[in-house]
Structures are given as C-alpha cells and as structure tokens.
Structure 1
C-alpha cells in the first residue's frame, strides 16, 4: 500500500469496530456461526489497518493537489491499480446516486399528495 507498509505501527488498544459485521461475513464465507474472538480480532485489525492506510493515501493525494480536504476522487486515485476495488467504488457511487434520486422523487410525490390533500 504505502511506501512505509513494511513498518508496523505500535499496537494500540483499539475498539472492535467491525466485530459484528466480520462475524457475519466470516459465517457467510463458511466459518463457524460463532467464530473465535481471536480470529475476529485479527481480521478486525487487518480491516482497520487497510482503511487507515487507504485514508492516508487519499490524504496524501489531496495534499499533492494542494487541498486540505479529501475528495472521493482521491480515494479513486489511490485505488487506481486495483481495478476490482475501483470498479466496486464506482458501482457504489452510482447506486448511491440512484437511491438519492429515488428518494427525491418519492419526497416530491409525497409533498404533492400532501398539498393536494390539504387543499380538499
């Protein structure tokens, strides 16, 4: 990932941010319904480290662009070498837009029906 990927950070006590989701994910991939806590903890550390590294890469891209804020494009650029993950990001962004548009249409229709029923 990053140039300093071989350097391990000192272990700090972290919350188990993704424990519930990882248990479900592990079960979906064929593990026991109640996996060992150590397995979940290791996987949680791996996922958390990956997310932190990805955020650092995106922040580095933003700073090279002379910005203080990270944009979605910074994450896309950080994932440019992994086409599968980049494709998934693109797919999720498109689906997010579709859902937002559907909500907007639903809200607009709801407002029209509220106005129509208030006018009766």
Structure 2
C-alpha cells in the first residue's frame, strides 16, 4: 500500500489511462483529439479515486488481520455507493458464469493451434 506521504505527486505519475480516457471522451461526444490538459486532469481524478478505494480496501484487510486484500474489502470500500457496488456484484456474477461456461466447453475436439488460440 502506498501511504499518502509516499505517493508520487500528480506530475510524477505515469499516465496509465490516457488512451482509455480519450476513447471515452470521444464516445461521449468530445473531439477525437482532446486537449492534453483535459486528459491530465481526468487522469489525476481517476488515479486519486483508485488510490482512495485501494487504500480503504487495504485498511479493511489490515483491520481484519490480513495482509492480502480480498474482493469483500473492495465491496466494503464501495458500500456507500450502491450504484458501483451493484456493478461489482453484477461483474462477479458474470465472472462466475464465464468460468462455468469455460469449464463446460469440450476442448478435446480441438487440435494444436486452434486449441492454443482458444486458450489465449
């Protein structure tokens, strides 16, 4: 976990989501090449939000006496935002369905390259 004092300043951070943010802005009606400052501000907001959620989840794990963060810690961190918590629940259900479907699929019919492509 990165403590508040050890966290890199906004100007030192790597832009992790710049391409995704550009695509989202364009999808919501912005120009195809938004201002660099716009992407920078949105990047800062997004990274701050992710840091805060991860710190909250880590704090919950430590309070429970664990060193590893579990999904329930993130769910607890999102407890005050029912919309995001609901989305997490839906995604977890979808993940279980995908895992079950993947187990049911018969890979024995496939050969060599075809099997390798399917598993990638």
- TM-score using structure 2 length: 0.80
Instruction: Give the number of the structure whose alpha-carbon radius of gyration is greater.
Output: 1
Give distance in 2, aligned partners of 1:79 and 1:26: 25
Which structure 1 residue ranges, 5 or more long, are not aligned? 115-120
* Residue number in structure 2 paired with 1:117: none
State the partner residue of 2:13: 14
Query: Which residues of structure 2 form unaligned runs of 5+?
Result: 111-120
Matches for 1:27-106 after TM superposition, within 5 Å: 27-106=26-105
TM superposition outliers: structure 1 runs of 4+ over 4 Å: none
How far does residue 12 in structure 1 lie from its aligned partner after superposition?
4.4
What is the CA–CA distance in structure 1 between the aligned matches of 2:27 and 2:11, rounded to whole Å? 29
What's the CA shift for 1:97? 1.2
- Residues 51-77 of structure 1 deviation map (CA, whole Å, 9 limit, x = unaligned): 111000000001111111100000000
What SS does the aligned partner of 2:80 have?
coil
| RMSD of equivalent CA atoms | 1.9
Displacement of 1:11 in angstroms is 3.5
Q: TM-score, normalised by structure 1?
A: 0.80
Question: Are 2:107 and 1:110 equivalent residues in the alignment?
Answer: yes
